Amino acid sequence: MENNVNLKDFNTFGIEVFAKEFEALHTAEEAISFFKERNLTEKEFLVLGGGSNLLLTDDFNGIVIHNNIKGIEILEETTEIVLLKAGAGENWHEFVLQCIEKGYAGLENLSLIPGNVGASPMQNIGAYGVEVKDLITEVEAIEIATGELKTFTNEACQFGYRSSIFKTTHKNNYFISSVTFKLSKEPDFNISYGAIKAQLDEDEISQENLSIKAISNAVIAIRKSKLPDPKEIGNSGSFFKNPVISAAIFEGLKKEHKGMPAYQLPDGGYKLAAGWLIEKTGWKGYTEGNYGVHKKQALVLVNYGGATGLEIYDLSERILLSVQQKFGVTLEREVNIL
């Protein structure tokens, strides 16, 4: 146990706030013992993994629990599939690259997403036509109140768009220790998003030469061209979710706003591009002091160094208000605010 720990290096925004107490847990067994011994209430603890989906707005007057559980284990392997169990503290992108190197397909479209494995089921990470819910078979998690290890099936996780039971009804109730993925040895390439196709063409990758490595490289190139590296500029990736609206509302909006991009969903609704909405309200590239909106991607709020979490939060409030006023659409933050 450490006291008065600076959390600047434990959140990708690089916000400097302090934790009264700090405990790093390295194994599931260690975590089980810890939670059985400590009787924690919700306001007394904060679980941190990669710190990639978090905006810290004040010092934490409790205990920060750093999830540092590592390890990758093959549970089952056939000529067609492999079941991989990964520790929640594994770096997500490094895990994806290891899978690609071994020829395990499915995660390549999720390359270069910041954070750790444990966050992947929590917020059902997704990108370029792939959501992690389609690859997760189960999640092991420790109940914080009792220290009991429980297993959640895919169905029990209640995955939704950028959401799961760990972010809704069970928020702050469980400490995720591992995630099991079912990956394929027979790739089913997903290049439906136009940006991937365009990047593959630029990389001179033909259909005959297509591979999970080529798709991963294309996704990495796209993300690097649009998103700032948290190691260089503090950020948490996409700060806002893409809003979902009804077909009737979309029909009205597209008449008033020509060229509005949207993706039709199976239920008939439409998913709008939050970045486009924010850009059209004039926020893209906005800078105030040492923070602002990224010049290449309006979805990304940035800390150029020394900004406070409250400053960035207040900026997000102003963005929400202006999008609501212009389009009548309510954006939702993807980032957790503390």
Q: What is the pLDDT of residues 304-333, one digit of tens each?
A: 999 999 999 999 999 999 999 999 999 999
What's residue 190's pLDDT? 85
Mean pLDDT to the nearest integer, 27-36: 96
For helices 194-202 and 212-226, the axis angle rounded to 10 degrees is 100
Whether the pTM exceeds 0.75: the reply is yes
Residue length of the chain: 338
Task: State how far the alpha carbon of 169 is from the alpha carbons of 46, 122, 138, 299, in Å.
Answer: 17, 12, 18, 27
Q: Check whether 38 has a pLDDT greater than 70.
A: yes
Q: How far apart are alpha carbons 233 and 113 in whole angstroms?
A: 15
- Percent of the chain whose pLDDT exceeds 90: 78
Residue with tokens 């690089």: 14
What's residue 165's pLDDT? 96
Q: How far apart are alpha carbons 109 and 191 in whole angstroms?
A: 9
What's residue 245's pLDDT? 93
Task: State how far the alpha carbon of 99 is from the alpha carbons of 159, 202, 224, in Å.
Answer: 23, 25, 21
What's residue 192's pLDDT? 80
Domains by residue range for the chain, with CATH: 2-67 (3.30.43.10), 72-184 (3.30.465.10), 234-337 (3.90.78.10)
What's residue 156's pLDDT? 97
204 an active-site residue? no
Q: What is the pLDDT of residues 241-295, one digit of tens each?
A: 999 999 999 999 988 998 899 988 888 999 999 999 999 999 999 999 999 999 9
β-partners of residue 179 are 86, 139
Task: State how far the alpha carbon of 307 is from the alpha carbons of 15, 228, 233, 316, in Å.
Answer: 7, 16, 11, 14
Closest to 48 measured CA to CA, from 227, 236, 228: 236
| Better-predicted residue by pLDDT, 115 or 27 | 27
Average pLDDT along the chain? 93
What's residue 23's pLDDT? 95
Q: Check whether 299 has a pLDDT greater than 90.
A: yes
β-partners of residue 287 are 292
Mean pLDDT to the nearest integer, 210-237: 91
What's residue 82's pLDDT? 97
Q: What is the pLDDT of residues 170-193, one digit of tens each?
A: 998 999 999 999 999 999 888 887
Q: State the pLDDT confidence band at 74, using cuts at 50, 70 and 90.
A: very high
Q: What is the pLDDT of residues 119-170, one digit of tens each?
A: 999 989 998 889 999 999 999 999 999 999 999 999 999 999 889 999 999 9
What's residue 162's pLDDT? 85
| Better-predicted residue by pLDDT, 114 or 56 | 56
What's residue 42's pLDDT? 67
DSSP3 helix / strand / coil % (the chain, rounded to 5): 30, 30, 40
90 an active-site residue? no
**Cβ count within 10 A of residue 153:** 10
| Encoded tokens for 169 | 């009804």
| 3-state class (DSSP) for residue 133 | helix
Point out the catalytic residue in the list 120, 177, 216, 238: 238
Question: Beta-strand (E) ranges in 243-305?
Answer: 244-245, 262-264, 270-272, 287-288, 291-293, 301-303
* Cβ density class 262-293: b for 16+ within 10 Å, e for less: beeeeeebbbbbbbbbbbbbebbebeeeebbb
162 an active-site residue? yes
Point out the catalytic residue in the list 111, 140, 162, 223: 162
